[in-house]
Each structure stands twice: as C-alpha cells, then as structure tokens.
Amino acid sequence: MSKVRKIPKFKDEVEERAFWEKHDSSEYLDWKKAQKRSMPNLKPSTKTISLRLPESLLDSIKIEANKRDMPYQSLIKVWLSEDVKESRGT
C-alpha cells in the first residue's frame, strides 16, 4: 500500500482549485476507504433543448398541466422521466 500525502492547507477556494488542477487526488486520498454518500439537496445539471411540437399537442399538454397546477415544462419532464424508467424496467 502506498503512503498518502498530507493535503495542504489552502488560503481560499481559488488556491485549492489551482492545486487540484495540477495534482492527482490518488496521491492524497486512499480511495479504497471511500464511502458512498448521498447528496439529496444537489440539483442535477440541466440543458436547454428546442423541441418542435404540433400546436394541438402543446395545447393538450398545457391543459393537463393546468389540471395538475404545474408548469407544462415540468409535466413534460415528469412524463419523459416516467416513460424512460418504465422502458428500462427500473
């Protein structure tokens, strides 16, 4: 087993970021001892896309979203997510 090096003290986040850009974390951490962590408040990254829909379909989606008192974009995301999970069997 290789010896891990001591992580230096940093004066600020900028200095720490510069350090990690130039150093391999495996020299400073024993990744075999790492434990899985959950970060429930971390929001996933999103990407804006353009999607062309027939106006009648969009109108129907907006009506359904209004019935559920939610934005239509959110309803589309929910439906897409549910369909993908169902298709993957998860």
Instruction: Specify the 3-state DSSP secondary structure of 36.
Output: coil
Domain-located, residue 75: yes
Domain-located, residue 62: yes
Note the pLDDT of residue 18: 95
Torsion angles phi and psi, residue 39, rounded to 5: -125, 80
Domain-located, residue 50: no
What number is the average pLDDT over the span 5-32?
94
pTM: 0.53
Residue 79 sits in which domain range? 55-88
Note the pLDDT of residue 43: 85
Q: Which of 16, 80, 19, 82 is nearest to 49 (CA)?
A: 80
How many domains does the structure of the chain reveal? 2
CA distance 74 to 43: 15
Note the pLDDT of residue 89: 83
**For residue range 30-44, what is the model confidence (pLDDT) as tens digits?**
988 999 988 888 888
Domain-located, residue 47: no
